[in-house]
Amino acid sequence: MLDRKDYKNLLAKSHSLIALLLMVLAFSLLADGFLSRDNFWTIMRQISVNLCISVGMTLVILTGGIDLSVGSILALSGAIMAGLLQRGTELEAVNLYIGYGAPAAIAVGLFVGASLGWFNGVMVTRFRVPPFIATLAMLTIARGLTKLYTGGEAITGLGQVFVGIGSGRLLGIPNQFWIAAGIVLIAIVLLRKTRFGRYVYAVGGNEEAAKLSGLNVARVKRMVYIISGTLAAVGGLIVTSRLNSATPIAGEGLELDSIAAVVIGGTSLSGGRGSVQGTVLGALIIGVLNSGLVIMGVDPFWQQVIKGFVILLAVVIDRFHSKEQQ
């Protein structure tokens, strides 16, 4: 038999799932067509990019950090992929032109994302810049570089192979869903079955104790920021290939959606507690909320207000849960 404390712990761990089920029930009654197959896949497509980014954000927040630069890194990585596919690289000094196929352009874009993530990690660990400030600066830097690289205009006409990544299907299921699902599964295994995963929780749970036990805390932190930057670049790949276009405003606001998914999913902003599975539920809640409100015809401005209250409620619940554990 479960006592009162066990019931409270079970309820605290299941609040995201309960909220999702209640939300689905409410919209199925209030919004015609919400439970349709087409709307289901629309939600899955919409949350795929957020899931990729949110997985990386989960790792960062688990260590007690934050990454506000993911939306801008997404935009810059996607723009570089598109630019390399569209116009290649010209080395005027040696009169050389280098063309890129889709695999090479994607590899360069992912490398850019990883490099910017590494830079964030170095600022946080070596130069002791607070994660909020370091990644806020990168948000501005990467967005500015994106506008410089694109000239403030969209880069289009990226070729069928590249476009097929974001708009194609495998076994009748959108490719972007497979990409997001693969990232989620890898991240779950990484956190639950590997030494690195244990280190991530240790750093977020008690950084000083982790240092005293001989753990290289700086290396773990750099690694999670590298992963976050790389997954933001994967998001850039999905967005750019799906739209057959790279724009300088791509990814604006996605850092807030990813943080919301992580927090709503039960990951503590103070670090050390949370899971990728919870983040998946958080992303689903945001996707379901967006879809339901759109189908009901709710004004977009009110949608932002409602989403803000949902995020605030999730943070309040997290604070109460943390106090009870203490």
Backbone angles phi, psi at 170, to 5 degrees: -130, 120
pLDDT for res 196:
97
* pLDDT score for 323: 62
Note the pLDDT of residue 321: 65
Domain with 317, as residue range(s), is 34-325
Between 13 and 126, residue with greater pLDDT: 126
Number of domains in the chain: 1
3-state SS track over 156-214? ECCCHHHHHHHHCEECCEEHHHHHHHHHHHHHHHHHHHCHHHHHHHHHHHCHHHHHHCC
Write the CA distances from 79 to 87, 116, 143, 257, integer angstroms: 12, 14, 11, 21
Residue 189 has pLDDT above 60, yes or no: yes
Nearest to 314 by CA among 293, 274, 325: 274
Q: pLDDT tens across 155-171, in order?
A: 998 999 999 998 899 98
What pLDDT is attached to residue 314?
76
Single pTM value for the model = 0.93
Q: Is the pLDDT of residue 202 over 80?
A: yes
Closest to 259 measured CA to CA, from 60, 8, 5, 89: 60
Burial of 193 (0-12, 13-18, 19+ CB in 10 A): exposed
Q: What's the confidence (pLDDT) of residue 99? A: 87
β-bridge partners, 317 = none
Residue 248: CATH number of its domain:
1.10.3470
Give the model's pLDDT for residue 325.
59
pLDDT at 310 over 90: no
* 260 in any annotated domain: yes
Let me know how many helices (H) and strands (E) the chain has, helices first: 13, 6
- Output the DSSP codes for 258-314: HHHHHHHTT--TTSS---HHHHHHHHHHHHHHHHHHHHTT--HHHHHHHHHHHHHHH
140 assigned to some structural domain: yes
Residue 7 has a pLDDT of: 55
Task: Residue 246: name the closest of 143, 155, 110, 158 by CA.
Answer: 155
The pLDDT of residue 3 is 58
In a domain, 197, yes or no: yes
Give Dmax (Cα) for the chain.
78
Nearest to 57 by CA among 258, 281, 271, 293: 258
Per residue in 79-118, pLDDT tens? 999 999 998 887 777 778 888 999 999 999 999 999 999 9
pLDDT tier, 78 (very low <50, low <70, confident <90, very high otherwise): very high
Reply yes or no on whether the pLDDT at 209 is more than 90. Answer: yes
Nearest alpha-carbon partner for 318 in 258, 256, 259, 273: 273
Q: Is 97 a domain residue? A: yes
What would the two tokens of residue 264 be? 């709503």
Query: Which range is least confidently modeled, 14-18, 171-175, 228-232?
Result: 14-18
Q: Among candidates 148, 147, 140, which has minimal Cα distance to 116?
A: 140
If pLDDT is split at 50, 70 and 90, which confidence band does 311 have? confident
Q: Does the residue 229 lie in any domain?
A: yes
Q: What pLDDT is stored for residue 145 in this prediction? A: 97
| 138 domain-assigned | yes
> Span 135-155, mean pLDDT?
96
Percent of the chain with pLDDT over 70: 94
Specify whether the backbone of 155 is left (phi greater than 0), alpha (psi in -120 to 50) or beta. Answer: beta
